[in-house]
Amino acid sequence: MINFNINYKKTLVILVAFVALQSCSTKTTKEERQQEAQIRKQEPADTPQEIAERAASIFANAPDLTEQQKQQLDTIYRNVYDEAMIICRDIGQTKSLMYMTLVRADYKSTEIENLKKKIVALDKKRLDLMFDALEDVQKVVGRGIDKEKTYKQLSSFNY
């Protein structure tokens, strides 16, 4: 298996979680509470790298995926990771500018509002990237009840 950067792997775990949840598009309040309880039971990851590492491991060891599917997923993850890291860097740089602007005595509130909007837009871009990747993962792994076993294996893999 190719050595993955830890941030990249966090993104993968997030994708796995969203893929597993995609099959239930309409949730009741009770289902949402049960889902929250399941999320809280997951082993915590302190960094994006840890999550990405777990996801890469899960897909690399998934017994119901072919080597070709694993390679396709690897390509998706690498692309998502690279793009997500660029976006995260841009968010960090924009936040730094916002903080630097705040300490100036002559800053304008419109400057701060524009920077806040840019940060929100960048974060939305990051989420859109993740959701697009989710669709790509579903194209590789498949959808529907016949894929339930695969997604369960992916979501319950012990790391």
The answer to whether 150 touches 142, Cβ cutoff 8 Å, is yes
Spatial separation of the C-alpha atoms in residues 128 and 57, rounded to whole Å:
24
Per-residue pLDDT, 98: 95
- Type of residue at 1: M
Spatial separation of the C-alpha atoms in residues 126 and 23, rounded to whole Å:
22
Low-confidence ranges of the chain (pLDDT < 70): 1-28, 45-48, 51-52, 146-159
Angle at 134 between CA 21 and CA 129, to 5 degrees: 125
Structure tokens at 141: 């792994």
Alpha helices in the chain (DSSP H): 6-22, 29-41, 48-60, 67-102, 109-141, 148-156
Structure tokens at 117: 């909007």
Per-residue pLDDT, 1: 43
pTM (predicted TM-score): 0.61
Per-residue pLDDT, 108: 92
Spatial separation of the C-alpha atoms in residues 134 and 14, rounded to whole Å:
9
